[in-house]
A and B are shown apart, each in its own frame.
Chain A
Amino acid sequence: DTEVTQTPKHLVMGMTNKKSLKCEQHMGHRAMYWYKQKAKKPPELMFVYSYEKLSINESVPSRFSPECPNSSLLNLHLHALQPEDSALYLCASSQIQGASNQPQHFGDGTRLSIL
Chain B
Amino acid sequence: AQSVAQPEDQVNVAEGNPLTVKCTYSVSGNPYLFWYVQYPNRGLQFLLKYITGDNLVKGSYGFEAEFNKSQTSFHLKKPSALVSDSALYFCAVRDMSTGGFKTIFGAGTRLFVKA
Instruction: Report the bound CA distance from A67 to B114 in whole Å.
Output: 44
Within 8 A of A (CB), among B84-115: 88, 90, 94, 96, 98-103, 105-108, 110
Closest to A55 in B: B101
* B99/A99 in contact, CB under 8 A: yes
* A100/B32 in contact, CB under 8 A: yes
**Known: A31-B101, A50-B101. Is A41-B107 also a contact (CB below 8 A)?**
yes
* B43/A42 in contact, CB under 8 A: no
A105 adjacent to chain B (CB < 8 Å): yes
* A106/B32 in contact, CB under 8 A: no
- Count of chain B residues with a beta carbon within 8 Å of a chain A beta carbon: 26
How many whole Å from A12's CB to the nearest CB in chain B?
A: 16
Instruction: Report the bound CA distance from A48 to B41 in whole Å.
Output: 23
- 8 contacts across the A-B interface (CB closer than 8 A): A40-B88, A100-B100, A101-B100, A106-B36, A106-B45, A108-B41, A108-B42, A109-B43
Known: A2-B42, A40-B88, A106-B36. 18 other contacts (CB 8 A): A6-B43, A40-B110, A43-B105, A48-B98, A55-B101, A90-B44, A99-B99, A100-B96, A100-B99, A101-B32, A101-B49, A101-B94, A101-B100, A104-B44, A106-B43, A108-B41, A109-B42, A109-B43
